[in-house]
Structure 1
Amino acid sequence: MLVAVRSAGALHRLLDVLPVFDGDSRVVTRFTLVPGSRFDVDALSALELAGARTLPWEEALRVEHDLILAASPKGELRRLSGPLALLPHGAGFNKTIADDGSAGVPSGLDPHYLLTEGRPWAGLHALAHEEQVSRLAHASPGAAHRAAVVGDPTLDRLLASVPRREDFRDALETGPRRLIVLTSTWGPEALISRRPGLPADLSGLLPYDSFQIALVLHPNEHSGTGRFDLSRQLAPALSAGLLLPRPHEEWAALLVAADAVVTDHGSTALYAAALGRPVIAAYDGGHELIPDSPMARLLAASPRLSAASELPDALRAALAVDTRPLADSAFSQQGQALPQLRHHLYRLLGLTPPTGPVRTPAFPRPSTAPRRPPAFAVRAEVSGERITVRRFPVHTREPVQHLAAEHPTAGQREVQSAAVLWRRAQDAAARPHSTGWTAGGWTAHALAEAPACRTAVAILTPRRCLLRHRTARPLSLRLEPERAAGRVSYADPAAVASAVHAWLGADAAHAPPVSLVCDTGAITVRVRLEPAIADDLDYEL
């Protein structure tokens, strides 16, 4: 069997199909790169990483294959010899590309690519819904009689991953925050092309302890721009904690973990809708979206986001919309894609399928580590013994009262300007010939070395800190996590440090021991302040 790919996106699509052949030594898989796409670089890298065996294109042309599997009819694919099974490139056919094939027709339905002298050349069009067969019959009548509705293997993997939602959120360090996933297709009408500043704008507007932001880009954007330039272009948002998942599998884990999705006209949002995730439309219009397609209907039914400041209202409106029925016209045979594909693909191979069920694998736990911002602009409101804290990236335009920074991770400018400095204890054991700080020693040193600093905090554990303020004796802090419905949630001690700093500055008559309530947005915790004990002062950082 030959897997013929033109881009990383097509490869990822086909990899979701290959479990059909698991356990069958009769089927030998080879991959080849169909020339002609400018998005082929990442496909080669992914194949090498997977340890896949490849055939050079010229060698693939000389061989008669028992089965060819492809997710795009473009390029020189028809020069290959053997029965072809063709899958959609994504979730249906919702988008047309200017100056590519027949005007206004998606390439997956375009007779320019599907027919040769009026005759179909694919042996199977494996589609996800009956509506797609009707659209294929209208656009390319000669190809429709070779179509079969098999469902969508990528959606089935998403559905199989739903039980892992909490595991995914744990890997992403989301906690009780709301995870907002921006999804962008590629091309001039894509979200990332038209609103490149939206990730940074949202990061600067939404409190860090209440929201987590992620950006899922089309694989073509990863291939065309490259990870290096993407990291540079998105640097302000990435430094504020933006998640940028890898284009293979990890994007899907983000959809499973998401609380809501902000999307352009790319079909990724249809997968989110099928999972029941609230969808917010951020497509500014154009010529690419196919009218009355499933994606067009989803966008029409979703609240619109014209500016970052509208997100809270748009999110409330989106929560009132049941998105699952809106995805029903894109996906049928849910949970059955691999069994259906096994039947059709083995028919083309001329082999009897293996006995026993075929397993749909869940997506793996995401491995992209979230970046913790080393500095925050902080707004704190003190009302008696209750403090409400909201933390934003330093580039925010929101009203704030002080800067808090991590030592020594933050830049020199932030460290020298911060009113609150914090340092986290290291887990590693002491190395030979090394010197370290005690919590008491470092907090005193920080106040002496940073004139702007009013409060220095050593974070010893998630529930225990040592705090030294210029106008008070050292304090031991004990953080009690929030407990609700059988779950335990921990606030970031650095956020609590900013709350205590604000309380100490507002209440000149403070007299620990005292118990405070700290509201960080997603979590509300109790904090006990007492005169510092020796164990905290001597704790090795």
Structure 2
Amino acid sequence: MDGVVRNPAQWVTLQGCRKVLVVVHTEVYGRRLRELLPLLAADLRVQVAFTVAPHAFNGGALRALHGLGGVVLPWEEAVRGEFDLALAAGSQGVERLRAPLVRLPHGAGHMKLARVADARRPGEPRGVGGMGRSYLMWGDRVVPAAYAVAHREDLELLRASCPEALPVTEVVGDGVHDRIAASLPLRERYRMALGLRPGERLVLVSSTWGLGSSFNRLDALLPRLLAELPDRAYRIAVLVHPNVWSGHGDWQVRAWLDTLRRRGITLVTPDADWRPLLVAADWVIGDHGSVTLYATMTPAAILLARFPEEDVNPASPGAELARVAPALSPAHPLAEQLAYAAAEYPAEAYARIAGRISSEPGRFNANMRRLLYRILRLGEPAYEPATAPLPDPPALDSGTDDRSGACA
């Protein structure tokens, strides 16, 4: 990748600059952290470098930094350097950093329980992923200088799972929430950019990763969508979690889905921004991933293809969504189920659930910049940090050349 530096001594810093290290564990974490970069941009008092930390799914981490042209320090060199601030959305290895650390969650709603394999005391129930002592402490020390969470409800989770971290925890909101909210008025523009024709409807199939994800049943769902939905009335796009791409490899994921792609399904690549597609979608068929939860902010009707209750935090907004959203049935025609989900759209319930994503709607940039500059011991730049709408998406790749004819 561009800008890899083999020795921190080769990283040329301006005199007097505060040095910031962005620690990327996975592609998902990296994309979450990229949202923070505009808060530090154009400030000659601040200089940013990146590093890729150890993680089982860090194969796609550099892809999250693609095109930035930033300096990327090797991990072992980065942990020997000293920085004025470090940013991370993961926990592995961050106790080694020589910098005050700001940690962020990497998804919405703290929905998933910790993996069964994660260490916990005998007899203890599974904690909430990202919220326990094993994620936030090293020995008897709280690792982050600040833990930036999205909602006041997260404070109650911490009070139960890691009360030691409460003094450093701040409720700042959710940057993805705010970008989606700012982009909702551009829904029709995104639909035009995607190439949707008048009368065409977009079905977005979204999968998280893991054994309970809908990816493990796409071999049954996607052929049904192709067989049952008229191809002049519906476009189908599939969004697969980057950990699936990293865990299995890009070639393997493409190979598994290539036949379906050649029949007209769009496979959204992991480097694409999924959020404009979500804003543009008419239906979202999802599971217990963050994308399904963010869909409650949009006009899209939601159907749940899978929802492994045993792996979900029962107090999360995702669990509430599972009690409200219709579940996909293998025994009824898909067109009828899509029509049902649209006709029975529970607007009030979805608005309530969406309200649990962030308790600081529209204020993430202001809150987060205030936190970062406080730790940097600098005054903030003298302008409001705006929340930019999402960029236009590229046109959907149908995998076929024949898109002629009127929509049904």
**TM-score, with length taken from structure 2:** 0.88
- For 1:389-400, what aligned pairs fall within 5 Å after superposition? none
- Equivalent residues of 2:195, 2:395 under 8 A apart: no
Q: Higher helix proportion, which one?
A: 2
> What amino acid is the match of 1:130?
R
> What amino acid is the match of 1:55?
L
Separation in 2, partners of 1:191, 1:298: 16
Q: Of the candidates 127, 132, 138, which is equivalent to residue 154 of structure 2?
A: 132
Deviation at 1:369, TM superposition (A): 4.1
Separation in 1, partners of 2:250, 2:193: 21
Q: Of the candidates 376, 379, 382, which is equivalent to residue 352 of structure 1?
A: 379
- Equivalent residues of 2:149, 2:172 under 8 A apart: yes
Q: Of the candidates 245, 254, 259, which is equivalent to residue 282 of structure 2?
A: 259
Separation in 2, partners of 1:284, 1:147: 30
Runs of 4+ in 1 over 6 A off after TM superposition: none
Deviation at 1:106, TM superposition (A): 2.7
Is 1:34–2:53 an aligned residue pair? yes
Is 1:324–2:351 an aligned residue pair? yes
Which deviations, in whole Å up to 9, do the C-alpha atoms of 1:19-78 show, x marking residues without a partner? 11122111111111111x2321221233243212111112111112101100011x2111
Separation in 2, partners of 1:276, 1:151: 22
Deviation at 1:313, TM superposition (A): 3.3
- State the partner residue of 2:194: 172
Secondary structure of 1:197 counterpart: helix
- State the partner residue of 2:336: 313
Which deviations, in whole Å up to 9, do the C-alpha atoms of 1:284-332 show, x marking residues without a partner? 5353212131101101100110228443333333332112222212222
Q: Of the candidates 164, 179, 183, which is equivalent to residue 157 of structure 1?
A: 179
- For 1:498-509, what aligned pairs fall within 5 Å after superposition? none
Secondary structure of 1:107 counterpart: coil
Separation in 1, partners of 2:186, 2:245: 26
Secondary structure of 2:72 counterpart: coil
Secondary structure of 1:112 counterpart: helix
- State the partner residue of 2:89: 71
The 3 A distance-change label for structure 1 pair 243 and 107 is same
Larger radius of gyration: 1
- State the partner residue of 1:145: 167
Separation in 1, partners of 2:139, 2:253: 43
> Which stretch of structure 1 is more off in the superposition, 55-64 or 360-369?
360-369
- State the partner residue of 1:18: 37
Q: Higher strand proportion, which one?
A: 1
Higher relative CO (Cα under 8 Å, sequence separation at least 6) belongs to 2
- State the partner residue of 2:116: 98
Separation in 2, partners of 1:225, 1:51: 27
> What amino acid is the match of 1:58?
E
- State the partner residue of 2:5: none
Is 1:226–2:253 an aligned residue pair? no
Separation in 2, partners of 1:362, 1:38: 33
Identity of aligned residues (%): 35
- State the partner residue of 1:387: none
> What amino acid is the match of 1:272?
A
- For 1:355-504, what aligned pairs fall within 5 Å after superposition? 355-367=382-394, 369-371=396-398, 373=400, 494-495=404-405
Secondary structure of 1:100 counterpart: coil
> What amino acid is the match of 1:184?
S
Is 1:205–2:228 an aligned residue pair? yes
Deviation at 1:17, TM superposition (A): 1.6
- State the partner residue of 1:532: none
- Equivalent residues of 1:189, 1:286 under 8 A apart: no
The 3 A distance-change label for structure 1 pair 17 and 152 is same
Secondary structure of 2:130 counterpart: helix
Deviation at 1:147, TM superposition (A): 1.2
Q: Of the candidates 83, 92, 99, which is equivalent to residue 82 of structure 1?
A: 99
- State the partner residue of 1:186: 209
Separation in 2, partners of 1:285, 1:104: 14
* Number of aligned positions between the proteins: 379
Secondary structure of 1:99 counterpart: coil
Deviation at 1:372, TM superposition (A): 5.5
> What amino acid is the match of 1:65?
F
Secondary structure of 1:188 counterpart: coil
Which deviations, in whole Å up to 9, do the C-alpha atoms of 1:209-238 show, x marking residues without a partner? 111111111111122223322222112321
What runs of 5+ residues in structure 1 fail to find an aligned partner? 375-405, 407-491, 497-519, 522-541
Separation in 1, partners of 2:160, 2:324: 26
- Equivalent residues of 1:31, 1:52 under 8 A apart: yes
- State the partner residue of 1:413: none
Separation in 2, partners of 1:172, 1:4: 33
**TM-score, with length taken from structure 1:** 0.67
Deviation at 1:9, TM superposition (A): 0.6
Separation in 2, partners of 1:2, 1:371: 40
Deviation at 1:135, TM superposition (A): 0.7
- Equivalent residues of 1:156, 1:335 under 8 A apart: yes
> What amino acid is the match of 2:36?
V
Separation in 2, partners of 1:261, 1:49: 30
What runs of 5+ residues in structure 2 fail to find an aligned partner? 1-19
The 3 A distance-change label for structure 1 pair 239 and 87 is same
Deviation at 1:354, TM superposition (A): 0.4
The 3 A distance-change label for structure 1 pair 27 and 308 is farther
Which deviations, in whole Å up to 9, do the C-alpha atoms of 1:461-493 show, x marking residues without a partner? xxxxxxxxxxxxxxxxxxxxxxxxxxxxxxx6x
